[in-house]
């Protein structure tokens, strides 16, 4: 067959499932939040991260139970082992201390980047950029994620990667050309500037999250809880001061006053935070278990759903039947090539499958089997040689 699926991994379902949380959250938020500010929105966004504390505790308890025996054995070894000197222990502690300081500084840096990534749209008027979002935004996002993953994470790119990325970019360029006739030249320039900046900030944020989890072996649940706790507490501390000093600069306390007026509103807010956590957690788990570039899959699903909803509600000529057909075909083609880029689907033509993980693993298994067979043959020859030697010795002895 010229096309086949890679080996099934249930983690590949993550980018397919978590966009549903975002679709469930949007109508709930619209019904609950009547007066919103970007500060209140940012606070809710990062506060939702703190729900990761629950799965973090569960995984911690499980790992602790599994490692009890190993800890007991290591404790006995430490008691019985008097070889390690005090000087060596001091060096080990010093290394650990430096690692912890580096961990904290890295985490605080990621918190700053995360807050900038989420809050920077508040300084831009994006109401005129709706049409170009369907093409330029996704084009720049995909390119930035690929480039940063290559530079920071050393992600290898092969023929199938370049081909699929090139086709995806070509399709978005076609969509942008179609969009040009519906927007003013000034809007096009604004779109280029804003979406390049947006892609760089979010791309850098997501890629360094992956880098942090690799470097310090942290689970995404602990990482999410740490980032959410640090930023939401910082925002709340700022807002308390701002509320009493200058209410025009406040947003969180006023947001609660304007929108949460009953116990029912509070529980709806809690449900909204849980749904937002499901959406954000899906992104983090996708980045942790797969790669930042797997975000393309879920991004296309969300964009397509939002495109259909907007087209249904809008009477603009931009959403005419011809454009809807073109955009739908382009999105499905890009979805297909995203699967090829991330090796969910493999094309067995023109050597595009040669450097995929599946083919590399097959070659490794083949080489291993050949080594085993060669070793067995060598042992057989050695055994036969020993037997022949024993036979020759018995014959010479009898003579």
Block means of pLDDT (10 residues each) for the chain, 399 residues, are 74 83 81 85 93 88 64 50 57 78 91 92 84 88 92 88 91 91 87 92 93 87 92 94 86 89 89 91 90 86 83 81 89 90 83 76 72 58 57 48
pTM for the model: 0.81
Host H or E run for residue 48:
helix 38-48
Q: What sign has the CA pseudo-torsion 228, 229, 231, 237?
A: positive
Q: What are phi and psi of 124, to 5 degrees?
A: -125, 150
CA angle 370-374-378, nearest 5°? 170
- pLDDT score of 25: 80
- pLDDT score of 151: 92
- pLDDT score of 345: 83
Domain locations in the chain as residue ranges:
3-76+86-350
Nearest to 280 by CA among 21, 16, 11, 13: 21
- pLDDT score of 77: 47
- pLDDT score of 149: 92
- pLDDT score of 303: 82
- pLDDT score of 261: 87
Question: H helices then E strands: how many in the chain?
Answer: 16, 2
- pLDDT score of 238: 93
- pLDDT score of 373: 57
Given the DSSP bridges, would you call strands 3-5 and 345-347 parallel, antiparallel or unpaired? antiparallel
- pLDDT score of 376: 60
For residues 36 and 26, give the distance between their C-alpha atoms in angstroms, rounded to a whole number. Answer: 14
- pLDDT score of 397: 42
CB atoms within 10 A of CB 130: 16
């Amino acid at each position: 067959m010229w096309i086949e699926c890679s080996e099934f991994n249930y983690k590949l379902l993550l980018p397919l499932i978590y966009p549903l949380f975002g679709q469930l959250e949007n109508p709930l938020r619209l019904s609950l939040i009547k007066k919103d500010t970007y500060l209140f929105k940012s606070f809710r966004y990062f506060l939702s991260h703190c729900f990761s504390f629950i799965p973090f505790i569960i995984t911690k308890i499980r790992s602790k139970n599994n490692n009890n025996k190993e800890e007991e054995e290591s404790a006995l070894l430490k008691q019985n082992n008097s070889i390690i000197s005090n000087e060596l222990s001091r060096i080990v502690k010093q290394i650990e201390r430096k690692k912890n300081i580096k961990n904290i500084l890295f985490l605080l840096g990621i918190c700053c980047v995360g807050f900038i990534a989420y809050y920077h749209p508040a300084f831009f008027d994006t109401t005129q950029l709706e049409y170009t979002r369907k093409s330029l935004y996704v084009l720049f996002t995909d390119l930035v994620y690929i480039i940063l993953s290559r530079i920071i994470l050393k992600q290898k790119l092969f023929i199938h990667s370049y081909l699929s990325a090139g086709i995806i970019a070509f399709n978005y360029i076609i969509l942008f050309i179609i969009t040009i006739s519906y927007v003013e030249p000034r809007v096009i320039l604004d779109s280029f500037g804003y979406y390049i900046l947006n892609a760089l900030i979010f791309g850098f944020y997501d890629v360094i999250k992956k880098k942090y989890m690799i470097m310090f072996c942290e689970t995404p649940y602990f990482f999410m809880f740490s980032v959410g706790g640090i930023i939401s507490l910082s925002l709340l501390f700022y807002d308390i001061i701002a509320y009493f000093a200058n209410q025009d600069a406040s947003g969180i306390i006023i947001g609660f006053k304007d929108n949460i007026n009953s116990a029912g509103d509070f529980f709806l807010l809690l449900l909204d935070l849980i749904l937002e956590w499901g959406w954000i957690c899906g992104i983090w788990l996708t980045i942790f278990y797969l790669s930042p570039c797997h975000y393309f899959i879920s991004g296309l699903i969300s964009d397509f759903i939002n495109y259909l909803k907007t087209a249904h509600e809008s009477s603009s000529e931009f959403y005419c039947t011809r454009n809807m057909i073109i955009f739908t075909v382009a999105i499905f083609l890009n979805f297909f090539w995203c699967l090829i880029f991330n090796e969910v689907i493999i094309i067995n033509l023109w050597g595009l499958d040669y450097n995929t993980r599946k083919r590399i693993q097959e070659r490794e298994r083949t080489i291993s089997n050949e080594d085993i067979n060669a070793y067995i043959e060598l042992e057989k020859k050695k055994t036969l040689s020993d037997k022949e030697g024993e036979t020759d010795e018995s014959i010479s002895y009898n003579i």
